[in-house]
Structure 1
Amino acid sequence: MRRTLPIFCVLAVLLVAIGTANPHFLEPAGFLSFVRRAGPLAILAAGQYFVVVSGEFDLSVGSLVTAEVVIAARLIDGEPAATWPVLALLLAAGALVGLLNGLVTTLLRVPSFIATLGMMLILSGAVFLWTGGAPRGALTEQFRAFGRAGLGGVPWSALILAAVTVAVVLLMRADFGRTLVATGDNQKAADLSGVRTHRAKTVAFVLSGLSAAVCAILLGGYAGVSAQVGQGLEFQAITAVVLGGVVLGGGRGSVVAAIAGAFTLEALFTLLNLYGVSGALEVTVQGVILVAAVALGAVRLPQWTALPRRPLKGQS
């Protein structure tokens, strides 16, 4: 509880500061608009949480988001009948990319940082080769409704995020969640206890890929088709997770706090924009937050050292 409380306090302060600078933000329409913008990143952070808490990284999610938006626009090309089949294809493709990341990391024993970095480069190169830097095609209104419309005045991104949050919390309280935390805390000990750590990590990567697919669907509807729609999202997701108090290296952290970290990051960027701070500084601010959060987490964790055992009398 002590590790998660600070992020909610920081989020509350930022929301009050935004409301002071822009009173419209406190109105339901203004706040729901903020939730619509933060929702995709929060969902992506929830998926990244699974990977980080297991002791790994997933750097491919940003490129995966871009690839899925570009593929969706090309395959749908304004044809309403193709919307639902393409949506199913996007979810399957996200799960497949996650599965490949997980298998390369666990079976081939390639460090996840390298495995997912390679996947990021593969996807980025494939998108550029396919589009030449200028995506073609168009998304239908049915597809874009996920990012722009809602139900009863509540954006779909907020409703989907609420469903994802409940599902993730229940999943982490189940046997899978305990297995994942044990894997990230001490994989060797978990292996000796009979825990299937490789399977748990692979499933974590699959869930991360699925979250990227959902994020792509929401961003495609909200921001439209672009070859840069997912640029930098992988680092934003990791920053949000670390900001939420999740320990890099695995074994500790709350998924709810990770989602709050995504909202905090979006609130900070919103506040900077309100005060006219250049958007180019967002990356700098993100880097400072990442380093500071990791350093603070390292200071908070007690460093226990084993004291040498004194031999008993008569023992050498």
Structure 2
Amino acid sequence: MRRTLPIFGVLAVLLVAIAVVNPVFVEPAGFLAFAKRAAPLVILAAGQYFVIVSGEFDLSVGSLVTAEVVIGARLIDGNEAATWPVLALLIVFGLLVGLVNGVVTTLLKVPSFITTLGMMLVLSGAVFLWTGGAPRGALSQGFRAFGRGSLGPIPWSVLILLAVGAAAVALTRANFGRTLAATGDNERAAALSGVRVARARILAFMLSGLAATVAGILLGGFAGVSAQVGQGLEFQAITAVVLGGVALGGGRGSVVAAMGGALTLEALFTLLNLYGISGALEFTVQGVIIIAAVAVGALRLPLKLRPSA
């Protein structure tokens, strides 16, 4: 609980500030629209949490989101009957990308920063090669319903977000979650205690790939088909996780706080937009948050673990 209070306190302040500028925000429809808009990033942050808490990074999720949307539109091409088979294929593809990231990182000993950066470039290049920079095809109405439809007054994206959040919390409270945290805290000690470190990290990358797939499905629903739909989302997801207090070196953090960090980041961007501040400042904000998080993490290291001058 103590890990989540600070970030949700900041979120509450930002939500109040938004409501002062835009009173419509406090109405149910206004708040649900905010939650609907934030859902893809919050889901991405949940997936990124599992990778970061294990001591790794996943820079490929933004490109994977774009690939999922582009592939989905090309294969469905407006055919309603193809919706569910393509959705299943996209889920398998996201898991496969996560599996490749995990295997290359853990078994081939390639640093995850390099592995996922390479995957980001591979996916971006493949999308451009396949589309020529102009995605073709169209998503069916059934596909788009996940991002733009609703069950009564509640958007499907919000319901999916709640389901993903509940699943993520359940995983962190199970042995798997404790195994990941132990791996990120001290890989050698975890291995000596019987933890299958490689398998845990591979599963973490697969969860990240699955989260990117779900986020892509939602974004395809209300943002449409674009070769830039996932651009920059990998950095937003990492920023959200560290904003939620998750240690970049792994071993410490809460998935609820990571998701709260994503909501806080979305609220901050919303407030900046309401004040007419340039969207380019978003990158500056993300950079400051990441640098500050690393600095705070370094200050928290026990004195005996700090390098000597």
Specify the TM-score bucket, using the shorter chain as the normaliser. over 0.9
Please give the residue correspondences for 1:1-316 in structure 2 after superposition, counting only pairs within 5 Å: 1-299=1-299, 301-305=300-304
Q: In the aligned structure 2, how far is the partner of 1:2 from the partner of 1:77?
A: 48
Unaligned runs of 5+ in 2: none
Q: In structure 2, what residue type is equivalent to 1:118? A: G
Q: In structure 1, what residue type is equivalent to 2:209? A: G
What do the CA deviations read for 1:59-96 (whole angstroms, capped 9, x no partner)?
A: 00000000110000000000000011011111000000
1:171 to partner: Cα distance? 0.9
Q: In structure 2, what residue type is equivalent to 1:267? A: A
Q: In structure 2, what residue type is equivalent to 1:303? A: P
For the 8 Å contact 1:245–1:297, the answer to whether it is kept is no
Q: In the aligned structure 1, how far is the partner of 2:24 from the partner of 2:254?
A: 32
Structure 2 counterpart SS, 1:218: helix
1:53 to partner: Cα distance? 0.2
For the 8 Å contact 1:46–1:258, the answer to whether it is kept is yes
Q: In structure 2, what residue type is equivalent to 1:28? A: P
Q: In structure 2, what residue type is equivalent to 1:148? A: R
Does 264-273 or 150-159 show the bigger shift?
A: 150-159
Q: In the aligned structure 2, how far is the partner of 1:298 from the partner of 1:163?
A: 35
Q: In the aligned structure 1, how far is the partner of 2:295 from the partner of 2:27?
A: 37
Structure 2 counterpart SS, 1:246: coil
1:4 to partner: Cα distance? 2.7
Task: Give the TM-score taking structure 2 as reference length.
Answer: 0.97
What do the CA deviations read for 1:237-286 (whole angstroms, capped 9, x no partner)?
A: 00000000000110000000000000000000000000000111111111
What do the CA deviations read for 1:42-72 (whole angstroms, capped 9, x no partner)?
A: 0000000000000000000000000110000
Q: In structure 2, what residue type is equivalent to 1:167? A: A
What do the CA deviations read for 1:135-187 (whole angstroms, capped 9, x no partner)?
A: 00001111111111111211111111111111111111111111111100000
What do the CA deviations read for 1:179-228 (whole angstroms, capped 9, x no partner)?
A: 11110000001111111010000000000000000000000001000000
1:303 to partner: Cα distance? 1.3
For the 8 Å contact 1:47–1:211, the answer to whether it is kept is yes
Structure 2 counterpart SS, 1:121: helix
Does 242-251 or 278-287 show the bigger shift?
A: 278-287
Structure 1 counterpart SS, 2:183: helix
Q: In structure 1, what residue type is equivalent to 2:237? A: A
Q: In the aligned structure 1, how far is the partner of 2:62 from the partner of 2:107?
A: 24
Unaligned runs of 5+ in 1: 307-316
Structure number with greater Rg is 1
1:26 to partner: Cα distance? 0.5
Identity of matched residues, %:
77
Q: Report how many residues are paired.
A: 305
Q: In structure 1, what residue type is equivalent to 2:304? A: T
Q: In structure 1, what residue type is equivalent to 2:5? A: L
Q: In structure 2, what residue type is equivalent to 1:295? A: A
Q: In structure 1, what residue type is equivalent to 2:30? A: G
1:298 to partner: Cα distance? 3.0
Task: Give the TM-score taking structure 1 as reference length.
Answer: 0.95
Alignment partner, residue 309 of structure 1: none
RMSD: 1.0
Alignment partner, residue 310 of structure 1: none
Structure 1 counterpart SS, 2:297: helix
Q: In the aligned structure 2, how far is the partner of 1:124 from the partner of 1:305?
A: 43
Q: In structure 1, what residue type is equivalent to 2:182? A: A
Structure 2 counterpart SS, 1:305: helix
1:289 to partner: Cα distance? 1.6
Q: In the aligned structure 2, how far is the partner of 1:19 from the partner of 1:245?
A: 26
1:302 to partner: Cα distance? 4.6
1:305 to partner: Cα distance? 2.0
Q: In the aligned structure 2, how far is the partner of 1:185 from the partner of 1:123?
A: 31
